[in-house]
Chain A
Amino acid sequence: MKIHILLFCLLTGFVNRVNAQTMVTPAGPQETPLLLTGATAHLGNGQIIENAIIGFDKGKLTIVAKSGEAVNKSGYEIVDVTGKHIYPGFILPATDLGLAEVSSVRATLDNDETGLVNPNVRSIIAYNTDSELIPTLRFNGILIAQIRAFGGLISGTSSIVQLDAWNWEDAIFQADEGIYMNWPNRETRQFDFSTFTFKTSPNERYDQYIAELTEIFAESRNYRKGDYGNKVNLKLEAMKGLLEGGKKLYINANDAKSIIESIKFAKNMGVEKVVLVGAGEAYMIKEFLKAEDIPVILGNVHSLPRKPDDDVDLPYRMAYLLHREGILTGLAYRGTQNSRNLPFFAGTAASYGLGREEALKLITSNTAKILGIDDRVGSLEVGKDATLFVSEGDALDMRSNQLIHAFINGRKIQLDATQQALYQKYKSKYQGD
């Protein structure tokens, strides 16, 4: 990589390098069929191919094979990546990437609409493809994201995007595919100054919130039946997809009882596809989740145990505890600014019970299945999108997560951006030219 940069420096000279590197230009469509050879391919479905040949053309995977297998290589440009590692593009679900730039500066935040019930607000509308956060995620292998709003009881409608685009229309991978609901907390937390700790007490507004949710779901049913005649109600209109099975309901709930209540609620309301997000205590009620067939997106692997008596490594082992029971599990990342570390969540899960290939699924094929996009992404299989990257080494370990190439739909995307430009600028200052 150093040689590569040096070469680049020699070729371009220094004067315009910084500006050129700062600008991230979306790549054009794949023009030449490419064949990556010699790498270890981690397919994202639990399988691994040593010394693999991975070919793609017009944005789709055409060859996924082991070196030596008979494949038609004609017309492919060979890229020798011997000794490197190939992964399907990582998927970051449940993020406000592109909606929130600097968390303490209100003007940069478009992630939380006012009001309690906002199924009609659409995250894709505010998704900023020029967010400076996006290149930092791509740099670590995250190529697909699900963009959601936060706040209220029903935060809004989410969409899935690919991370190399000119504008939000261009970024759409799947628009308006789900609605995010925050199950009200059964308890609220107050700071108790006498003991200097937080204490919980029952949430006095819990019943009111449940009533609010019950009403919006019940009315959406009536709306769908036609009870409202030709009167348009944008909120109820947005809810329709949940009842028809077109949209998924992503329920954010953490404590065991809230998980049970919220999922029962959704099922009783006639919602067909439910995903549990957050899921701090999901491991306490695995049987329930299995019986209801609910997939889980874990909120935060690198977190502290919720209780002082909990196992010190409980958050690290959580994915394993769910996987062990056959619950389909993916990983999200709390804190968008640092979400480029998603691969290392998987690395931790690998070390705490899952093993590397199974842990890789948490940020690739499992997430694709949960989001309903596994027909196109999440694993390296012929016919799927050529959304993948090549890394110097194990991409789940920070030492070796070093991307060399990344492709979205076969388009070779730019990895370096502002941060790398600043690095080069000051590196040359201190090293001398």
Chain B
Amino acid sequence: MNRNYCVMKSALLLFLLVGVFCPELPAQETFPRNDVKDQRRRAFAFLNATIVTDDQQTIENGVMIIKDGKIMDVGTSLNVPDGYSVVDLEGKFIYPGLVDIYSSYGLPEVKTPKRQWGGPEQIQSKTKGAYNANQAIKSEYAASEEFTAHDKAAKKLRNLGFGSVLSFRPDGVARGTSVFVTLGQDSENKLMLNPVVAAHYSFNKGSSTQDYPVSAMGYIALLRQTYLDAGWYKSLTVKPFIDQSLIAWNQNQQLPQIFETTSWLGLLRADKVGDEFGHQYIIKGNGDEYRRMKEITATGAPLIIPLNFPEAFDVDDPLDARKLSLEQMLHWELAPTNPGVLEKNGITFAITTYKTEGGRFWKNLRKAIKHGLSEESALRALTTTPARLVRMENKVGSLKKGMVANFLITSDNIFSEEAIIYENWIQGKKYIVNPIDQPEIAGKYTLSFAGNDYNLEISGKPGKPEAKIVLNDTTSIKVNAKVRGELVTLNFDVEDEEVSAGDIRFSGWIADNNIKGSGQLGDGEWVNWSAIYQGKLPPKEKKGEDREEDNLQTGKVLFPFLGYGNAELPRQKSVLFKNATVWTNEAEGIMQNTDVLVKNGKIAKIGSNLTDREAETIDASGKHLTSGIIDEHSHIAASSINDVATNSGMVRIGDVINPDDINIYRQLAGGVTAAQILHGSANPIGGQSALIKFRWGAGPEGMKIEGADGYIKFALGENVKRSRSRSSTRFPQTRMGVEQVYMDAFSNALEYEKEWQAYNKLNARQKATAIKPRRDLVHEAMLEIIRSERFISCHSYVQSEINMLMHVAEHFGFKVNTFTHILEGYKVADKMAAHGAGGSTFADWWAYKWEVRYAIPYNPQLMQMAGVTVAVNSDDPEMARRLNQEAAKSVKYGGMSEEDAWKMVSLNPAKLLHLDDRTGSVKAGKDADLVLWNDNPLSIYAKAEKTMVDGVIYYDMDEDRKKRKAIREERARLTARMKAAKKGGDPTRKPFETSTIGFHCDVIVGDNFLYLGEN
């Protein structure tokens, strides 16, 4: 994963060498003048400072000389040449100006259009001109063309200590290039240090109004296709058409590639795309990386991370606090550990202020340091690392000869609580953050006026005094105090009858240790006043999150990061089930008083009186042991379900598996061990499925079933013809059109195959002049289907459409593997059996839409009677945890045998998913995917006591009780901490509830819209 990054590094080194020897360029001689020539030398020498040149080197009593915006030299005993203004910085510190490589400073705001799924579709891009077919591919955009300095925004960043930033426009999946600028006040020509610094990408289409893509998996598919398109386009000597986006895309490949993500899951997904196309992205994360360090570390990606540490919640009201999940509470505690955890794991990272509250930047940085981030690492993440990542390390990020004179003058070690940033020098020009020579006036005073004495206390930093009049131990009056140079202004209100009450306004000057002046009382009378220094203030009591005694002990990271997650993942072990009633799903049928031995994740032996010395014995007398339930049709554990292109065969659910879905655990508790996670039904050809096992706590890749066959979702009927949208214009609108979509897709795929075959036959010389065919991910998916390398699970309801798809398949020489839903399957079950299609259906759902009017609960029994392999599936996160009961309904409706009914949720779905060679029955040699039930598994009274996947017990009723207790205790601990934080004066927020979407077939989530249809 790192290889490409190394290549980038050596290119970078080359650039660096060239850069150093570049002669200094004259400044803007091309501009007309409206004055006499007035070129002044801006040359300064800073003496006696502690100079932190970078995170590696600190020079005590150092000298730094700068001229015309450049650092001339840094060292200890340097001679200051003539003509330099000398600045004595005795006791002060110099740091490199901070670098933020993630900002959109100086660029116009991106307007996101209001989107919905219900109106007329937009199939084509609306970008004007010769650009890419997808409106979200904006590689042609160059931030340098729009960058305009904006001093108000610059000042905010300058005041935090930043001197230069990378600026990009956050718009599109491919966002074009960014610019690198300083934060000074000057013409853009001077501020711009590099007009083309990096190329940017994201999983967000921004201002694009085009429908496709809407989902995380669609963004990935679009990126993959664009990489292929761009490579093809580049390879053509004669371009068949002009695509300025692809031209730019190809040019941009030489730059550092920066990818924005919004969670650790997105981070892993982006890295995977990069791996496929030989790029190591620099990835903008979201600060939750601590949750999955193993996977994050494995990416090898340099990161850009924000310091967005959430505020504590106000947990005073227990009913309101119930809205919070343990995840939210624990994140509050663990977010500040994230930078330290990244450091500990050796990850290269830069820190950004992007989309965070500027006012909390330093507070949060110090908090991160308190929670394990070293000061060196913090400085590195704000200077040399960001500079190096975008190849600007020869200009900014450290203090060396030849660098841009971007530096900070501070009162102290910049990371200490007391540190004040005095000046932020940018390109050799001074910007005052806090006046450097503000007199220190903190202390206790006796304030005297009109014959009265008061105790005045002035605290705060020089230049920023905070003052109050202390009346007694508990009451004081706030004094509004201002200091500018030698002049002092005080405003307050004394409600004291001896003095005339009301507004008192004093103006004065500093006189040695004391302050003196004149002023006006509330009634307008002029008085003289004085504040006589009495001594130092006692050290300030720290409060809230600043308190030293704050317990830095935090809760443990859970896998997955949910209340029911595990701090330690459960392990595979040898288990011997004794005396169970075993539903084998094999010729042996249901075996009484039988032992089953599990070893190395497999079913080792089935028999009676088995023994094994290592194995943990479980008494299963009176209990039923079955293979795990397999859900042929599920939409849990995925971040998105639908994309919206009519043929979405290129999108893959496998790209967006989300292992942190509580429904995985809930379904384990219902005896489910594996599922097909299907794309939704928004389109005749949906995306590719992922087959997963419920390995609770594994990462997204660890959930997938190794070596499983590829599947794809097709859909027919009301959803794909957009029946519930009155203004839909998307083809197809009828079942007639749906058939044509398939005929078209498969015909085109065969043509595509021929084109490639013809091309591949050419010899090298012929190839050189021939037009190479373009690789197309949709065609490739269709070809896989035709070649029976990918299998269809087709959402279907009425008999005509079922019949139709079988005809299409037969025309192209393949079989429809599974019809799912298939509520009118009973009407054409004989044809399905003859074709060889399976049926995966609902037990008794019906009447939720017109096309299910004639759905009957006898459907499974009738299909089975006709010889179809029948499964009962969920398409619903709640029903999935009771699939055994759904299967049992066929005993009621049609009198199916219990053994056959049970197979509909175990062996039959395994067959439909081509997994029956490894799971789906209790047979020696198969995977130990087992469930121990307290009763006949088809009974409504049955409960899963233990659910095992690959020999690992992921759900155990007794462990579950312990987890409930642990959740309660951990919540109580965090509640106490939040209460303490609030008591200490920390800001808090009102609790709010978060919940995930319960996905089913027809849910579409776009960038800013959510469409909840009906199955």
Contacts and interface: CB of A to CB of B under 8 A. Distances in A.
A347 B940 contact: yes
Interface stretch (A151-159, A240-248, A425-433): A425-433
Given A196-B1005, A197-B996, A302-B879, A347 B847 contact: no
Residue among B723, B971, B995 with most chain A CB within 10 A: B995
B853 A397 contact: no
Interface residues of B, number: 76
A392 to B, nearest CB: 9
B898 A304 contact: no
B640 to A, nearest CB: 8
A338 interface: yes
A85 to B, nearest CB: 14
B858 A422 contact: yes
A268 interface: no
A33 B171 CA distance: 79
A199 B993 contact: yes
Interface in B304-342: 319-320, 322-323, 325-327
The bracket for how many chain A residues form the interface is 35 or more
Interface in A56-102: 101-102
B1014 interface: yes
A341 to B, nearest CB: 7
Interface string B627-660: 0000000000001000000000000000000000
Contacts of B262: 194-195
B862 A338 contact: no
B940 A351 contact: yes
Interface in A172-205: 187, 189, 191-202
Contacts of A187: 992-993
B672 to A, nearest CB: 13
A88 B323 CA distance: 40
Interface string A337-374: 11011001001101100000000000000000000000
Nearest to A260: B319
Contacts of A311: 964
Nearest to B355: A194
B892 interface: yes
B485 interface: no
B862 A284 contact: no
Interface string A316-351: 000000000000000000000110110010011011
B666 A312 contact: yes
B54 interface: no
A110 to B, nearest CB: 15
B964 A398 contact: no
Interface string A129-173: 000110000000000000000000000000000000000000000
A289 to B, nearest CB: 15
Interface in A1-23: 1-2
A104 interface: yes
A419 interface: yes
A189 B960 CA distance: 30
B62 interface: no
B999 to A, nearest CB: 11
B1003 to A, nearest CB: 11
Given A257-B319, A419-B858, A431-B865, A396 B940 contact: yes
B940 A200 contact: no
Consensus secondary structure, chain B interface: loop
Given A200-B323, A304-B998, A399 B1008 contact: no
B724 interface: yes
Contact of A102 (B848, B882, B893): B848
B187 interface: no
Given A102-B849, A194-B262, A431-B865, A309 B967 contact: yes
Nearest to A304: B878
B873 to A, nearest CB: 16
A199 B995 CA distance: 7
Nearest to B960: A312
B849 A103 contact: yes
Interface string B924-963: 0000000000000011111100000000000000001000
A363 B669 CA distance: 26
A225 to B, nearest CB: 37
Contacts of B996: 196-198
B499 interface: no
A313 interface: yes
B562 interface: yes
B895 interface: yes
B827 A423 contact: no
A220 interface: no
A426 B563 contact: no
Interface in B806-843: 826-827, 829-830
Given A104-B848, A196-B639, A422-B858, A399 B898 contact: yes
Contacts of B325: 307-309
Interface string A264-282: 0000000000000000000
A316 to B, nearest CB: 9
Contacts of A304: 663, 666, 877-878, 998
B885 A398 contact: yes
A32 interface: no
A46 B883 CA distance: 29
Contact of A337 (B320, B323, B845, B964): B845
Given A302-B879, A304-B878, A430-B829, A200 B939 contact: no
A214 interface: no
Nearest to A402: B892
A399 B892 contact: yes
A101 B639 CA distance: 33
A189 to B, nearest CB: 8
Given A197-B995, A308-B562, A399 B888 contact: yes
Nearest to A335: B848
A303 interface: yes
Interface string B718-742: 1000011000000000000000000
B1007 interface: yes
Contacts of A216: none
A401 interface: yes
Contacts of A132: 847, 853
Contacts of A347: 940-941
B844 interface: yes
Contacts of B454: none
B662 interface: yes
A354 to B, nearest CB: 11
A49 interface: no
A16 B844 CA distance: 26
A291 interface: no
B241 interface: no
A102 B265 CA distance: 39
Contacts of A101: 847
A427 B856 CA distance: 12
B756 interface: no
Contact of A195 (B724, B882, B994, B1010): B994
A105 interface: yes
A419 B865 CA distance: 17
B846 interface: yes
Given A398-B889, A398-B891, A427-B865, A337 B639 contact: no
A308 B563 contact: yes
B894 interface: yes
Contact of A397 (B666, B941, B993, B1008): B941
Given A303-B878, A307-B325, A401-B892, 4 more contacts: A191-B997, A196-B263, A304-B663, A312-B665
28 contacts: A101-B847, A102-B847, A103-B1014, A104-B723, A104-B850, A132-B853, A187-B992, A191-B997, A191-B1005, A196-B996, A199-B993, A202-B990, A302-B878, A304-B666, A304-B878, A308-B327, A308-B662, A309-B971, A313-B669, A337-B848, A344-B940, A351-B941, A398-B889, A420-B858, A422-B826, A422-B854, A426-B858, A430-B866
Closest 7 CB pairs of A and B: A347-B940, A104-B849, A423-B858, A309-B563, A337-B847, A351-B941, A200-B993
